[in-house]
Amino acid sequence: MREVHYQEIVEKVADMCQRANYDLGEDVVNAFKNALQTEVSETGKDVLLQLIENAEIAATERVPMCQDTGYAVFIVELGQDCHITGGSLYDAINDGVRKGYGEGYLRNSIVGHPLERVNTGDNTPAVVHVEMVPGDKLTIHMTAKGGGSENMSALKMLKPSDGLQGVKDFILETVKQAGPNACPPIIVGVGIGGTFEKAAYLAKKSLFRPIGERSSRPEIAALEVELMELSNKLGIGPQGMGGRTTALDVKIEIYPCHIASLPVAVNINCHASRHKEVVL
Amino acid sequence: MSAKHISTPLTDDVIQSLRAGDRVLISGIVYAARDAAHKRMIELLDKGETLPFDVQGQVIYYVGPTPAKPGQVIGSAGPTTSGRMDKYAPKLLDLGLKGMIGKGYRNQEVKESIVKNQAIYFASVGGSGALLAKAIKTQEIVAYEDLGPEAIRKLTVENFPAVVINDSFGNDLYMEGTEKYRQD
């Protein structure tokens, strides 16, 4: 049994929180640059240039690219032969978030009670999903998920008879509804199948995949490309001010489902698609 | 398309000279306020009390900045989704608020109130908080310090970039822009 110490997780998580907010991934920056080549709207081009400049300032000056430094969401792959010592995994992650957000001058955006709405003051608790995997490694994936785009996400329990067309219609309708609110160009995360909560989890999980990385299933990869093209025909454009760049990517994850069900979840991400990972 | 330089407080002449789609560079004072601050302001008005600052002729920026690092005026400070303030905006516009900066759709009631009160709604680029912070030269907390990032701040801005979304004539860039580039 391999051992990973609590404090090591705290330090890595704290570092990830800061890097996620300062260093926009190359996949996203490249997607902005590619979009600049195809965007036809002058306002849209202006927005893309501003986003590229913004990412440069954030990385150089070590400041958050966006004031919404997000809900810290983690997907942890815990090897079944890995033992965490010195405390619980959840506590370690929350300690890391507390440290990272505090030391990194990141905004605390979490309220401790959804109705009483008092800020917890340290951006905790994080949302943590743990998947048990073979092996002795601990892989931590983190995203700083913005609230504006999260709010534009949706889930629908379709009928099996709605089929592929029903799925496409719902995804596009959600993108359309999100419009400028979700800070386009967006990344569209989709979960199809499973149960109510599984579909939502898959949609979130898909957003951890880098932009441009297609599903390993050919039919789903084709659907991702098709939905991206259809999204970009909606005219919404960068920041919703009109243009051809509405989505930088569409990501789809699927799972088997009940004979009676066809759940579809759409988790919208803003252009600041922040995802980092460490392997311990 | 070059940007128009405008100053706050906004005069009716300036407001009437602007159209949906115009790019502007705003200089002067704007007030930072978002969800919780709006809720408190409207509660004050409902009790017949006065607001912590006079909104007459002013511009409110929907923003909750990150904490400033040592040596910085303000942390990252991009716009938040304006629609969450729709519930409160018409009341403030009736009191003389002239401008709002945020991002995203406004509801029909706000759009009508913008026309009725000869006001204007701007959007700046959501997510470009590091860049936009550079246009903020001073900040001072005016009220509700306990709200942290949601406190009301008086900001001095210089050449703050924004785009007119809803003008005083009822035009809406989000509708027009999407219509223009939609491919059926």
pLDDT digits (tens, 9 = 90+) for A239-251: 999 999 999 999 9
Helix axis angle for A26-38 and A42-61, nearest 10°, is 160
State the DSSP code for A121: S
- State pLDDT tens for residues A91-131: 999 999 999 999 999 999 999 999 999 999 999 999 999 99
Q: What is the pLDDT of residue A129?
A: 98
Measured between CB atoms, which of B63, B128, B147 is closest to A50? B128
CB-based contacts of B175, cutoff 8 Å, min separation 6: none
Q: How far is A183 from chain B (nearest CA, A)?
A: 6
CA distances from A134 to A79, A80, A131, A137 (A): 5, 6, 10, 8
The alpha carbon torsion through A252, A254, A260, A261 (nearest 10 deg) reads -40
SS3 content of chain A, % helix, strand, coil (to 5): 45, 25, 30
Q: A133, exposed or middle or buried, with CB in 10 Å at 0-12, 13-18, 19+? A: middle
Q: What is the pLDDT of residue B61?
A: 98
Q: How far is B55 from chain A (nearest CA, A)?
A: 24
Is B174 close to A241, i.e. CB distance below 8 A?
A: yes
Decide: B173 and A241 in contact? Cβ < 8 Å. yes
Q: How far is B17 from chain A (nearest CA, A)?
A: 19
Does the structure show a pLDDT above 90 at A232? yes
Q: Rounded mean pLDDT of A43-68?
A: 97
Instruction: Spell out which residues of chain B touch residue A48, defining contact as CB-CB under 8 Å.
Output: none
Mutate to test the interface with A, among B84, B181, B183 (most CBs of A within 10 A): B181
Alpha-carbon span B61 to B123, nearest angstrom = 9
Is B178 close to A237, i.e. CB distance below 8 A?
A: yes
Q: Which of B 77-106 lie inside 8 A of A, CB atoms? A: 77-78, 80-81, 83, 103-105
CA angle (A267, B132, B166) in 5-degree steps: 70
Measured between CB atoms, which of B104, B179, B183 is closest to A180? B104
Mutate to test the interface with B, among A49, A68, A119 (most CBs of B within 10 A): A68
User: Regarding beta strands A186-194 and A138-145, do their DSSP bridges make them parallel or antiparallel, or are they unpaired?
Assistant: unpaired
Q: What is the pLDDT of residue B2?
A: 86
Is A58 close to B76, i.e. CB distance below 8 A?
A: yes
Q: From the centroid of its chain, how far is CA B161?
A: 12
Is B103 close to A243, i.e. CB distance below 8 A?
A: no
Q: A26, exposed or middle or buried, with CB in 10 Å at 0-12, 13-18, 19+? A: exposed
- State pLDDT tens for residues A172-214: 999 999 999 999 999 999 999 999 999 999 999 999 999 999 9
Q: What is the pLDDT of residue B161?
A: 97
Is B129 close to A66, i.e. CB distance below 8 A?
A: yes
Alpha-carbon span B120 to A221, nearest angstrom = 44
Residues of B assigned a catalytic role:
38
Q: How far is B4 from chain A (nearest CA, A)?
A: 14
Alpha-carbon span A117 to A111, nearest angstrom = 5
CB-side neighbour CA atoms (13 Å) of A172? 18
Q: What is the pLDDT of residue A208?
A: 97
Q: What is the pLDDT of residue B1?
A: 61
Q: What is the pLDDT of residue A101?
A: 98
Q: Three-class SS of residue A94?
A: helix
Q: Helix H segments across chain A?
A: 6-22, 26-38, 42-61, 89-103, 147-150, 163-178, 196-206, 218-232
Q: Which of A 162-191 lie inside 8 A of B, CB atoms? A: 179-181, 183
| Host domain of residue B120 | 4-183
Mutate to test the interface with A, among B66, B85, B103, B176 (most CBs of A within 10 A): B66
Answer whether 0.90 is exceeded by the pTM.
yes
Q: From the centroid of its chain, how far is CA A250?
A: 12
Measured between CB atoms, which of B83, B134, B165 is closest to A181? B83
Q: Three-class SS of residue B125?
A: coil
Alpha-carbon span B52 to A192, nearest angstrom = 49
* Mean of all residue pLDDT scores within chain A: 97
Q: Say how many domains are in chain B.
A: 1
The CATH number of whichever domain residue B130 belongs to comes to 3.20.130.10
Alpha-carbon span A34 to A220, nearest angstrom = 23
Does any CB of chain A come closer than 8 Å to the CB of residue B2? no
What does the pLDDT profile of chain B (184 residues) look like in tens digits? 689 999 999 999 999 999 999 999 999 999 999 999 999 999 999 999 999 999 999 999 999 999 999 999 999 999 999 999 999 999 999 999 999 999 999 999 999 999 999 999 999 999 999 999 999 999 999 999 999 999 999 999 999 999 999 999 999 999 999 999 999 8
State the DSSP code for A185: S
Q: Is A38 left (phi over 0), alpha (psi -120 to 50) or beta?
A: alpha
Measured between CB atoms, which of B104, B179, B182 is closest to A233? B182
Domain layout of chain A by residue ranges = 2-20+65-145, 148-272
Q: How far is B174 from chain A (nearest CA, A)?
A: 5
